[in-house]
Amino acid sequence: MRAQPTDHPRLIGVLSAFAENDPDAASRVVAFEEGLQKLGWIDGKNLRTIRRWAASDPNRLHEYATELVDMKPEVIFAAGSASLSALREATRSIPIVFAQVPEPVQFGFVKSLAQPGGNITGYGLFDKQAEEKWLELLREIAPGLARVVFMYDPINPLALSQLAVQEKPAAILGVQLSSAPVHTATEIEHVVVELARQSGGGVILLPSGAVSAQLSFIADLAIRYKLPAVYPYREFVARGGLASYGVDILEHYRAAASYVDRILNGAKPTDLPVELTIKFLLTINLKTAKALGLAVPSGLLNAADEVIE
């Protein structure tokens, strides 16, 4: 569906829990807006976009959600789970389209995938089978793995549930699993240093505003302390991380623009089924593996969608 001619720009909101100067978070919002442009929605012409960036501040996130709702846009785009959670508390009437939200049914954002049943719909990502592969991937690359820390930002409302998903593969693989909530570079470094005191350590890193702002720092720390780490998105590996298994996040955001377009053209969120990502990408940084002293199995390299050398 193409954008319809209009005498007045249509108003939409965009809420991100990340910081505006976070290049990866900014690129996702740009991808979303590129998706709108391909559908004929041009900011400053037939569209007016109000953007708010919470920079991992929970209070600011809720303030911005309320502020956007008070501006009465026709639809609000929620970038990630934390943004969606704040917006759901702020309105049950203004249409909300989300991206980068795992398990939207399980956590009560929608009633079902086929029939969302309210003012929320969008593009979900991951599923339990995909999340279980993070630990399996880490063990395959680092067969000496014995202890894994699940590092996350408490602002992410779904983090603990994703930690719970790791318990099954951890038990099967005989790996000790623990969690570490982090907000700052200092907290991240403390977790890494403590983990490195014994051999056989590894990290699973869940994305968030605080974590994503420290990607290069975390990758450098992991190499310095010889800790293998697995991430959900390719952008982590491009910054020097070891490996990732997850969606093409930029395409995910571009796709979400189609639902904003349909709502601006008269569709209701309750009639738009939640779309789940079915394609996952495996990315491996061979240079980082060598720096860690790890030999990536040839079968894994052959299965990878991208090998960064």
Q: Provide the residue ranges of all domains of the chain, joining segments of one domain with +.
A: 10-126+248-276, 128-246+281-308
Which CATH code fits 128-246+281-308? 3.40.50.2300
- Confidence (pLDDT) at 56: 83
Buried b (16+ CB within 10 A) or exposed e, 187-225: bbbebbeebeeeeebbbbbbbbbbbbbbbeebbebbbeb
State the CB neighbour count (10 A cutoff) for residue 1: 12
Distance CA 251, CA 13 (A): 20
Closest CA to 100 of 227, 14, 223, 226: 14
10-residue averages of pLDDT along the chain (309 residues):
68 94 90 97 96 93 98 97 95 96 88 95 80 91 95 78 86 94 90 94 81 82 94 89 91 95 97 87 95 95 95
CATH architecture label of 10-126+248-276: 3-Layer(aba) Sandwich (3.40)
pTM: 0.80
- Confidence (pLDDT) at 12: 98
On the question of a common fold for 10-126+248-276 and 128-246+281-308, the answer reads: yes
